[in-house]
Amino acid sequence: MKIAVKNMVCQRCVLAVTQILDQMELPYQQVTMGEVILSDSVSEEKRQQFSDALEAIGFEIIDDKRKQLIEKVKTTIINFIHHDQEKTKLTVSEFLSDKVQYDYNYLSSLFSEMEGITIEKYLINQKIEKVKELIVYDELSLKQIADQLGYSSVAYLSNQFKKVTGLTPSHFKNIRSEKRIPLDKV
């Protein structure tokens, strides 16, 4: 039994959901970002208890198929930007179509309709959050960050960063305080 879960954006989220499953003694096969695969079907009462426990820590079960698809697009983008070490040469549209198994035009129009922003804008926002994270870690140069995130140049990264944040990357590096946004709020 598959259950789609909203707001699972990192491995700590997976761990938190896994702990709930263990506490509730719900047998599961797999827990990944955005999805739980239970070993058996559960009663409606047990499912509601699971849903309540998830909501108590900021997650939500998604029953609507269109919302599930949007969450899968978001999770795929988050994985790609924040967790995948192997960057692909595919365009965003090719990458998403391949991973989500839907036509990109359909995904794009559905995403825009339901989220109020384009997939491209969401991707840019995620990339900028990753840039912020890497700047705060202070382990890589801007050139290395640009290369890691697929920017053609430091100037392009800097321009996009300033458009989104209103700050240059170097100014952001100097102030650093409280400027990052949690991934589930992007």
As a whole number of angstroms, the distance between CA 107 and CA 113 comes to: 10
Cβ-contact 170, 162 below 8 angstroms: no
The DSSP symbol for 86 reads S
The DSSP symbol for 161 reads H
CA dihedral 98, 87, 59, 41 (to 10 degrees): 50
Q: Is the same domain home to 57 and 71?
A: no
Give the residue numbers spanning the domain of 38. 2-62
Q: Is the same domain home to 166 and 151?
A: yes
Q: Is the same domain home to 88 and 55?
A: no
Structure confidence at residue 16 (pLDDT): 96
Structure confidence at residue 88 (pLDDT): 61
Domain total in the chain: 2
Q: Is the same domain home to 72 and 41?
A: no
Q: Is the same domain home to 85 and 40?
A: no
Q: Is the same domain home to 86 and 31?
A: no
Residue type, 131: V
Q: Looking at residue 129, which CATH number applies to its domain?
A: 1.10.10.60
φ and ψ at residue 182, rounded to 5 degrees: -55, 145
Structure confidence at residue 180 (pLDDT): 62
Q: Which of 62, 84, 111 is the last residue of a domain?
A: 62
Q: Is the same domain home to 103 and 135?
A: yes
Q: Which of 21, 40, 62 is the last residue of a domain?
A: 62
- What are the tokens at 151? 């920017």
Structure confidence at residue 118 (pLDDT): 96
Give the pLDDT means over successive 10-residue stretches in the chain (186 positions).
91 95 95 93 94 96 94 91 68 88 95 96 94 90 91 95 94 72 69
Q: Is the same domain home to 97 and 172?
A: yes
Q: Looking at residue 55, which CATH number applies to its domain?
A: 3.30.70.100
Q: Is the same domain home to 56 and 72?
A: no
Structure confidence at residue 24 (pLDDT): 95
Please tell me the pTM assigned to this model.
0.80
As a whole number of angstroms, the distance between CA 12 and CA 15 comes to: 5
As a whole number of angstroms, the distance between CA 71 and CA 4 comes to: 8
Long-range contacts of residues 88-91, Cβ cutoff 8 Å, at least 24 apart: none
Long-range contacts of residues 103-108, Cβ cutoff 8 Å, at least 24 apart: 107/69, 107/73
Structure confidence at residue 86 (pLDDT): 60
Q: Is the same domain home to 115 and 158?
A: yes
Q: Which of 62, 79, 104 is the last residue of a domain?
A: 62
What are the angstrom distances between the C-alpha of 90 and each of 15, 135, 150? 31, 26, 11
Q: Is the same domain home to 37 and 114?
A: no
Q: Is the same domain home to 95 and 138?
A: yes
